[in-house]
Amino acid sequence: MDQKKQLYSRIAAGDRIRSRRKQLGLTRKEMAEQIGKAEKYYADIERGYCGMSLDTMIEIADSLGLTLDYLVFGNDGREESERESDSIQLLVRGCDEKRRKKAVELLKIYLAE
């Protein structure tokens, strides 16, 4: 087997986490609350200053709609359209029922043009 060994980089993982959080329009404080961690600890994860447990990785991945493979190594294997669909679903899921219905209505109007 001739497989290239992949290496984990805390800085690269933090960059991927930060990018996705911003894409979803979340603040560091909101993310820290979602995963039940202190804001400073979460900020240090994004900066690559500290590592994280597997449990924390799973919480972050679930909250951001990422796979662990992507979070750890940057391997996505999905098309851009799939990632965009996931982003839309996560954004809508975070809304209350009234805002969710309005968002769906607006999306339908926009896509019908």
pLDDT digits (tens, 9 = 90+) for 83-102: 677 778 878 877 888 988 89
Is 3 among the domain residues?
no
Closest CA to 20 of 70, 73, 94: 70
Is residue 42 within 8 Å of residue 31, measured between CB atoms?
yes
Is 62 among the domain residues?
yes
Domain that holds residue 111: 78-113
The model's pLDDT over 7-26, given as tens digits with 9 standing for 90+, comes to: 889 999 999 999 999 988 89
Closest CA to 50 of 13, 19, 5: 13
Structural domains of the chain, count: 2
Instruction: Say if residue 20 is in the same domain as residue 64.
Output: yes
Q: Look up tokens 């994004």; give the residue.
A: 46
Degrees, nearest 5: CA angle 41-24-18: 35
Q: Which residue blocks in the chain are alpha helix, DSSP H? A: 10-23, 28-35, 39-47, 54-64, 68-73, 80-93, 97-112
